[in-house]
């Protein structure tokens, strides 16, 4: 089994409140996918953070970056991009005999002498991936009749007739339906 590149040994560091340390880690994180986009298989997630030892935990601040690919919500073409997200979170120490920290849901768990940056990176990327990406802001999409890509030019289909049920609204807009 290979060791995760996102594990940071903080054995001596966390015992020195007020100390600061820079960490830069990178590696693939599988399963980073939402409805409209994903980190491609083998895509490298980069974590560049500063660790601050605090009383009872470690504050983490910096950036998480990753490539992403998706499908344009209008024309269904491939869209690619890079995301870079600022992160500011807290890893709190928790021992099994102690009750859980009150704000456990707002921080990451720090058990033992190893800090795992992968959950932080995973959350940052998943929350920043575009839900409905566009290949460009003025994407024309596909023809609803023949499915041709309207970004490549007109398809030659006759204009769609307006639904007569919307006639009342068109009158309010100052237009009559054809």
pLDDT in tens, 117-147: 999 999 999 999 999 999 999 999 999 889 9
Q: What is the pLDDT of residue 102?
A: 53
In which residue are the tokens 């970056």 written?
Answer: 65
How many Å apart are CA 177 and CA 56, to the nearest integer? 68
Mean pLDDT of the chain, nearest integer:
87
pLDDT of residue 1 exceeding 60, the answer is no
Q: How far apart are CA 74 and CA 134, in angstroms?
A: 7
Tokens of 67: 């490539």
Which structure tokens are listed for 169? 């609204």
Say if CB 112 and CB 95 are below 8 A apart: no
Q: What's the rounded mean pLDDT across residues 87-107?
A: 67
Asked if pLDDT for residue 175 goes beyond 70, the answer is no
What per-residue confidence (pLDDT) applies to 95? 54
pLDDT of residue 79: 96
CB 81 within 8 A of CB 65: no
Give residue-wise pLDDT tens across range 45-55.
999 999 999 88
């Amino acid at each position: 089994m290979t060791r995760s590149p996102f594990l940071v040994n903080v054995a001596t560091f966390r015992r020195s409140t007020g100390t600061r340390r820079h960490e830069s880690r990178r590696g693939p994180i599988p399963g980073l996918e939402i409805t409209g986009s994903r980190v491609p298989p083998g895509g490298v997630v980069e974590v560049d953070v500063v660790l601050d030892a605090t009383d009872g935990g470690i504050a983490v601040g910096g950036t998480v970056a990753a490539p992403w690919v998706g499908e344009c919500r209008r024309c269904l073409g491939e869209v690619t991009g890079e995301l870079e997200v600022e992160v500011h979170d807290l890893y709190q120490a928790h021992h099994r005999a102690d009750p859980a920290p009150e704000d456990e849901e707002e921080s990451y768990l720090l058990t033992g002498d190893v800090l795992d940056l992968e959950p932080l990176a995973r959350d940052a990327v998943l929350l920043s991936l575009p839900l409905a990406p566009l290949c460009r802001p003025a994407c024309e999409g596909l023809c609803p009749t023949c499915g041709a890509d309207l970004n490549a030019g007109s398809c030659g289909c006759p204009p769609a007739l307006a639904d007569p049920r919307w006639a009342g609204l068109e009158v309010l807009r100052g237009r009559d339906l054809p």
